[in-house]
Amino acid sequence: YRIAAYAQLGKHDDAEQMFYLAQQIKDDCPQCYDHIAVSLATRGDLDRAIWCWGRASQIDPHYPDVYANLARAHWQRGQHERAKQLFLTQLREDPGDTEVVLQLGSLLIETGRYDEAREKFNRALEQDPASAEAYLRLGELSLLAGRHDKAVCHLETAKRLAPEHPGVELWMAKIAKRRGNHELTRIHLLAELDRKGCGVTQTMQLARMLIEASLFQEAVDVLSSLVGGSSDQPALLGDSLASAMLMRAVAWARMGKPMASIDQCQTLLKLTPRNTAAMRCMIEAYLKQDRLRMASYWLGRAQRITARDPRLRTLRRRLIRAKVTVPIRRALEHLRTRLARRTPG
């Protein structure tokens, strides 16, 4: 239990020390492997976490939630089929686990198996008729199918069952946006900001929609909790971290903070040196600052990576125009300044 306690406090080095002490007492303790796996997964060390949960399942094939934990870890690694099979194994161990049924349904949505996902959510409602999450996901499926009225019905049911349930206002915002009601979209997005417990995927979707609705500061705040980590949301790793950093750079650029955007992109490029999306963002920021030499440099680097990107061709045309217009504008500004100095009083 000290392993688990240290992991929950974020003292992962201490958790590992407790684990090795425990192994000296009993080296085949499934509970120890489970607790240290949680610590490892929290740090993003999924390979070692999977090994530890696998070891726990070997010692005790019926250890609680071990297959569900393995499924979630494989899901994070993008190994969807393996995750699906592990979720099914967990359900054979505990068919009444509604939470696992819901997670399997969400995985099936992510892989485009909508009919299978709908069956899982309906099954979850059979087990728990008051499951707001099941109604939320059915609303999501209805929206994906273009059935807006049915989606609203499901989402309103979810909201009635759990008024503070995360994700409901986000999907309401998506429906409002598709219907062209931009003001209602903003209202739903701002309401979603007050929800606690959103997963990483939902939080990223919320940030993207906030940017699209020109709520840039709100988007930066949401993304900062992901990039830096917070008490409610652990810091991201890998591709998710890169996506969050890029969105934050875009938000800063659009709210008129090009230097913050450039700094974020430079940090991102240290992690992903061939990230042309970050380079495009930097080019736009430099163009807004009339820093044409830097814009030209990054355009050249991006074109060497992907020469046929039409967005780079658009930026190249903007750069060519800027090389003509910027010197003229600077000359006119200099002339106005000189004339102003010569004009008495």
pLDDT digits (tens, 9 = 90+) for 19-43: 999 988 988 999 999 999 999 998 8
Residue 137 belongs to what H/E stretch? helix 132-144
Check residue 232 and give its pLDDT. 45
DSSP letter (8 states) at residue 236: P
Check residue 236 and give its pLDDT. 56
Check residue 344 and give its pLDDT. 63
Give the burial class of 344: count Cβ atoms within 10 A of its Cβ; 0-12 exposed, 13-18 middle, 19 or more buried: exposed
Check residue 333 and give its pLDDT. 85
Check residue 234 and give its pLDDT. 45
> What is the C-alpha separation between 96 and 90, in angstroms, rounded?
10
> What is the C-alpha separation between 173 and 151, in angstroms, rounded?
12
Tens digits of residue pLDDT in 272-319:
999 999 999 999 999 999 999 999 999 999 999 988 899 999 999 999
Mean per-residue pLDDT over the chain, rounded? 91
pLDDT at residue 231 greater than cutoff 50: no
Distances (CA, A) of 332 to 319, 323, 341, 344, 345: 20, 15, 14, 20, 22
In the chain, % helix, strand, coil (3-state, to 5) comes to 75, 0, 25
> What is the C-alpha separation between 224 and 218, in angstroms, rounded?
10
Helices (H) and strands (E) in the chain, counts: 19, 0
Amino acid at 266: Q
Q: How many CB atoms lie within 10 A of CB 177?
A: 18
Among candidates 156, 174, 173, which has minimal Cα distance to 165? Answer: 156
Tens digits of residue pLDDT in 156-199:
999 999 999 999 999 999 999 999 999 999 999 999 998 877 77
CB 258, CB 288: distance < 8 Å: yes
Least confidently predicted of 35-39, 69-73, 338-342: 338-342
Among candidates 58, 57, 43, which has minimal Cα distance to 10? Answer: 43
Check residue 233 and give its pLDDT. 45
